[in-house]
Structure 1
Amino acid sequence: MIVKMKFLQISGPQSDIDRMCNKYLSRHEMQLESAIAELKTTDNLQPFIEVNPYRDPLGKAEQFCALLGDTQASPDTSLSRDEMMGLLRDINHDYVDFQEKRERLKKKAGELKETANALEPFRSLEINLGHVSTYQFLKIRFGRIGLDYYGRLEKYLFEDLDAVFLEGSRNDSYVYGGYITANKDKAKVDALFNSLHFERIHLTNEYKEGTPEEIRMTVQKEIEKTDQEIAEVDEKEASLMSSNASKLLGAKQRLTELAEYFDIRKKAAIIEDEENKDGHYVICGWMSEADVEQFLKEIKDDDRVMAVVEENKEKFFGEPPTKLKNPKFFKPFEMFIEMYGLPAADEMDPTMFVALTYTLIFGAMFGDLGQGALLFIVGGILYLKKRMNLAGIISVAGVFSMFFGVMYGSVFGFEDVMPAMWLKPVDAMTNLPFIGQLNTVFIVAIAFGMGLNLLVMLFQIINAAKAHDLEDMLFSHNGIAGLVFYAFIVMTIVLYMTGHKTPGNILMVIFLGIPILLFLFKEPLGNIVEKRHKKMEVGKGMFLVQGFFELFETMLSYFSNTLSYVRIGAFAVSHAAIMQVVLMLSGAENGSPNWIGIVIGNAIVMLLEGLVVGIQVLRLEYYEMFSRFYKGSGREFKPFNQINTK
């Protein structure tokens, strides 16, 4: 059902808006509308231009709470506004210090790791780096050279080169090491090595004494010490947050509320008052009837809050938003309504209708006691634990699958375990006049579809009456004219198929001819009953031609819409046939079934055919039923205080 909405206008002193929101409005769901846009007839309306002072502190509170991880602390909401701000300032001061110290240590650790990595290829060299940097007559260059160039260096140049190359290590691409040469030859040797693409690596001079390996070990100890200092900073930061966990969580909760309440100013307006410099705020929006009644009771003795209920809001300010309220059993099926579109205020809520027809049709198409029980159990568990609407729908559909499984006498595809309470879909046949033998399930499916078509036409008449649309209610192919036309055809078919006398020619002219004329002249007749002075946009000849094709389309839609329900019987028969194939392939007919094959076959059928059946039933709902009576043009009810509705 659709919750009835009222348009509420709230006002009071500008300085009192936060108190009003915190004390009264926070207890109720209200969809706010722009006061300036809605209250066009009110003079001197000005927007609020204040910046929300709670957003930045809220951002800090959220940042600190994220550092708490999965804490079990309970929020402490006893702090005042000033106490919350002071707490966040103090924690942020320490947090910034921790961040700066951590960044310095991380930078230091990075530099040390670069030094260690640079020394790694030269670990095998027994050279004191502190000493070689002080040589007066010799120069040593450390670096790497490609393997192919190093081969040329060994083969052609070492005999004539006044230098010694000390190899440290090598990999698949490079040889690492250093060459030593006299000062007088360094220019020639450097030029030669450069021509062979020798890449210089400058080792640190920070450590005056020691071989590359000794220096690397010293650097590694520095790295470990720095990592320990970073860990200590992390520990102090975590301790700071955990010691204030309850207060931080409480501050986040309260600041979220205060920020939401302050943001109401985006929708509110100010009325300037010459006598009162403070002025008055104005808030307007939609609230349910029950909430409006309770809200008015709460503010009855508060002279700083005034509220006015606009009874004729629908006529002057647009359509109210839609809020659905259905029993828990039908609640999951609201998902299908939201997918198609929420009902407008003057439409009926089709949730219960969808819940009943969807599950009933699904059960008829997927009738099996065992498989239905599994759908019921698995879907029910997922719905109770995860609150998944689709799982709830599957669970309810499983109940109807179990029911039709009993009616068909089918348990996991076995049809000899229990007798059918109604019929076997594959074997049941009925002899009809003119047609001959036809599967009984097909006949029942078409009859059921005819009944649903009549029912949704009644829904359309109700919706049109609510919307005061006399044209659609009286003359459309889904209104009273269409109901009379289709009902007479259904009655005639039923009488003929059951061997009874069909209506005479006069009755056919009345109950078929008159509705056809009403279909054809729907627009001019609608203008008359609606008292619209509207001229025909096309000539009479073109109007009749256009009307003829529309009439043909209407007749075709009746036929195709009715025939579409054959899929109910088709899937019921195909499900039974597929399960017979599964049992046959598993050797069940020989008396020694392969139970693994039966389990796998049932699982595949449940997944694939269950998915297809679910989609096909939803197609019937949307295209064959909704298209006749439901528009889904409503807008969702979105209360500002989502905090309190979660």
Structure 2
Amino acid sequence: MLRAEVAVPVRMRRVAIVAPEQALRETLVRIAESGRVEVDLAGDGGPDIRGPAATRLQRLRAESAQPVLSDAPPDLDALERAGRTDLLAGEAQLEERLGSAVHHGAVAALAGWCPEAEVGATAARIAGAGGALVPLRTPRGVDPPTLLTGADTVRPRVAARTVRRSFTPLVSTYGTVPYADLDPTMAAGIVYVVMFGLMFGDAGHGLLLVVIALLLRAGRPRRLAALHRLWPFVAGAGLAAALAGVAYGEFFGPTGVLPVLWLEPLEEPMRLLAVAVGLGAVLLAGAYAAGIVNRWREGGLASALYATTGIAGAALYLGLAVGAGYMWLGEVVFGVVGAVIAVVGLVLAGTGLYATTAGGPGGAVQTGIQLFDAVVRIGSNVVSFARLAAFGLTHAALGAIVWDGTTALAGRGAVGVAAAVVVFLVGNAVAFSLEALVAGVQALRLEFYELFSRLFEGEGRPFRPWHLPVQHLTGSAAAEEETVRQGPAREESS
């Protein structure tokens, strides 16, 4: 059950917020405080809904403040005189939603979306105010908004929620995952740190990244506090780099501190290149598999069968891969089987592509060009993973240059030793900064262009729940509000 939940976006439910007229405000205040419901607005694509609070807020022309809601209807004039732009901003949002409600007799209702797992708790929350959360059928042709598992707005049900949350920006930076598609967050994060580690393979540099991750976790430095949630991501990249460094025998360069357990990049570049391209071929196969599932979930069998990112594209890729086996091993059977599978893939892909054209000779030409592009893209995408080896070699070369300079200076007396220390520290600092940036960008490029381009054909709409802090007027807060209300009256009487 948990595995199924983490493989797809959070299940959404279409809901209606229903309440008596006199209880609608309190119901919406509780909805805002829970932060679990995205409320549809009548102003989306229509006329602007501007109420008294929004008008007063505009008159103040103050810098935008964090909106806050009052649990009881406030005196808007008193808030304007007191300059409480936070409460006026909250009331303006509330007015927008009150103006979007549909009224029938003494009852009002609004539509929206709520995570299915949160419907019961949210319904119980607003029941105390006299409201109700009524599940509805999803309208035809309307895709629910997307919320990836592990996001802040919904309590995740998996132990790795912190890791998932740190990986989420990888996916959200590319775009919003369509609601029907698989959630690739965890897989994308793991693949990224593996690719980063191969290119940034140095145990010393990797451990420095782990230290940086621990500092982020502790909230240091404070100027980078906004990156706190990314610390597992940075730690994972550091550990992957450290493990690759152990395999390469690299510790702040080829210092000899670690033995070579697998291969030395500068001594066996072709072996590293073959491993990088082989890993890329496996990752592309996984991307095609996920693409087939996504096309099936989006449009059924026909969509999965004819799409170049579905079964058709996967068959073409498999056929070319088997054909490459013939070139590598010299076995004729690989060539024949590969050619048959590739032709089947071309026929299926051509059928799907031709159906999207205007038909006739022009459509046939367009289809032929697109098929040629699909074949070229497969080859170029596989070869593109050679950059894993190329930048791994670059990192090793920089480390070797720094270490050669260090050892050359160290044998020249006290001054030479001092110069060697400076070269070692500055050289590693430059190599660390430059290669971390390059490896980070290149891993992102491979993930976006080679892998995500096969997973997604469209983009979804992000789930944006209405969430505002609520000021409860109890005790001293109530007295303060009463002072704000009575202040002008006292001045007039005096």
TM-score of the alignment, normalized to the shorter chain, above 0.5:
yes
Q: Select which of 359, 372, 390 maps to 1:570.
A: 390
Sort the Cα spacing of 1:80 and 1:442 in 2 relative to 1 into closer, same or farther, 3 A: closer
Matches within 5 A, 1:18-417: 18-23=25-30, 26-34=33-41, 51-52=52-53, 260-271=93-104, 273=105, 279-298=106-125, 304-313=130-139, 315-316=140-141, 318-326=142-150, 327-385=161-219, 386-388=225-227, 392-417=232-257
How big is the shift at 1:588? 4.8
- Which residue of the other structure, out of 358, 365, 368, is the alignment partner of 1:548? 368
Summarize deviations over 1:474-494 as a string: whole Å, max 9, x none.
123322122223224324434
SS in 2 for 1:493: helix
How big is the shift at 1:382?
Answer: 2.4
5 Å-filtered alignment, 1:443-482, equals 443-482=274-313
Q: How far 1:443 sits from its partner (Å)? A: 0.2
Give the Cα separation in 2 of the matches to 1:3 and 1:13: 31
One-letter amino acid of the counterpart of residue 602, structure 1: N
What is the CA distance between 1:589 and its match in structure 2? 8.1
1:622 aligns with 2:452: no
3-state SS, counterpart of residue 285 of structure 1: strand
Deviation at 1:291, TM superposition (A): 1.9
Would the aligned equivalents of 1:268 and 1:283 in 2 still touch at CA under 8 Å? yes
The total of aligned residue pairs comes to 440
Letter in 2 for 1:267: S
Structure 2 CA distance for partners of 1:602 and 1:50, relative to 1, 3 Å: closer
Q: 1:270 to 1:64 in 2, by over 3 A?
A: closer
Q: 1:515 aligns with which of 331, 345, 348?
A: 345
1:49 & 1:365 partners in 2: Cα distance? Answer: 54
Larger deviation: 395-404 or 12-21?
12-21
Q: Is 1:14–2:24 an aligned residue pair?
A: no
Q: Which residue of 1 is the match for residue 381 of structure 2?
A: 561
Q: Which has the higher helix share?
A: 2
User: How big is each residue's C-alpha offset from its partner over 1:400-424, in whole Å with a ceiling of 9 and x where there is no partner?
Assistant: 1111011111000134111122111
CA contact (8 A) 2:41 2:97 kept: no
Cα distance in 2, alignment partners of residues 408 and 625 from structure 1: 27
Deviates further, 476-485 or 601-610: 476-485
8 Å contact from structure 1 (residues 340, 632) kept in 2: no
Instruction: Go from structure 1 to structure 2 and tell me whether the alpha carbon gap of 1:287 and 1:88 turns closer, same or farther (over 3 Å shift).
Output: closer
Alpha-carbon distance in 2 for matches of 1:565, 1:334: 23
More moved, 373-382 vs 503-512: 503-512
Distance in 2 of aligned mates of 1:33 and 1:636: 13
- What one-letter code is carried by the residue in structure 2 that aligns with 1:518? L
1:581 corresponds in structure 2 to 401
Matches within 5 A, 1:464-543: 464-494=295-325, 497=328, 499=329, 501-503=331-333, 506-523=336-353, 537-539=358-360, 541-543=361-363
Distance 1:404 1:642, change over 3 A: farther
Query: What residue is the counterpart of 1:101 in the other structure?
Result: none
Distance (whole Å) between structure 1 residues aligned to residue 375 and residue 77 of structure 2? 75
Code of the aligned partner of 2:213: G
**In structure 2, how many angstroms separate the alpha carbons of the residues matched to 1:78 and 1:621?**
46
Alignment partner, residue 424 of structure 1: 264
Residue pair 2:203, 2:251 contacting (<8 A) in 1 also: yes
Question: RMSD of the TM alignment (CA)?
Answer: 3.8
Answer whether contact 1:442 1:569 (CA < 8 A) is retained: yes
Paired position in structure 2 for 1:160:
none
Which residue matches 1:154?
none
| Partner Cα distance (1:284, 1:350) in 2 | 29
Counterpart of 1:549 in structure 2: which amino acid?
I
Partners of 2:57 and 2:88 within 8 A in 1: no
Following superposition, the deviation at residue 511 of structure 1 comes to: 1.5
Q: In 2 relative to 1, CA 595–48 (structure 1 residues): closer, same or farther, beyond 3 Å?
A: closer
Indicate if the aligned counterparts of 2:197 and 2:244 stay in contact, CA closer than 8 A.
yes
Q: Does 1:609 align with 2:429?
A: no
Q: 2-side partners of 1:311 and 1:636: how far apart?
A: 20
The CA distance in 1 between the partners of 2:76 and 2:320, in whole Å, is: 75
Would you say the 8 A contact 1:520–1:551 is kept in 2?
yes
Letter in structure 2 aligned against 1:572: G
After superposition, what is the alpha-carbon deviation per residue over 1:268-324, rounded to whole angstroms, capped at 9, x for unaligned? 2333x3xxxxx432211111112212223445687x4343212223x25x2222222
The residue identity in structure 1 corresponding to 2:464 is K
Deviation at 1:344, TM superposition (A): 1.3
2:456 partner amino acid: Y
CA contact (8 A) 1:12 1:282 kept: yes
Structure 1: runs of 5+ lacking an equivalent: 39-45, 66-74, 96-250, 274-278, 430-438, 528-535
**Residue type at the aligned position of 1:270:** H
Q: Helix, strand or coil for the counterpart of 1:8?
A: strand
Identity of aligned residues (%): 25
Q: Highest Rg: 1 or 2?
A: 1
3-state SS of paired residue (1:420): coil
Cα pair 2:16 2:134 within 8 Å, conserved: yes
Structure 1 residues 95-118: Cα deviation after superposition (integer angstroms, max 9, x where no partner): 9xxxxxxxxxxxxxxxxxxxxxxx
- Displacement of 1:25 in angstroms is 5.4
The question of whether the paired residues in 1 share the 8 Å contact of 2:295 and 2:303 is answered with yes
Distance 1:366 1:502, change over 3 A: farther
The normalised TM-score by structure 2 is 0.78
Q: Could you say which residue in structure 2 is the equivalent of 1:226?
A: none
Rounded Cα–Cα distance in structure 2 between residues aligned with 1:308 and 1:78:
25
* Equivalent pair of 2:76/2:88 in contact (CA under 8 Å): no
1:383–1:632 distance in 2 versus 1, CA, 3 Å: farther
Using the alignment, how far apart are the partners of 1:259 and 1:631 within structure 2?
38
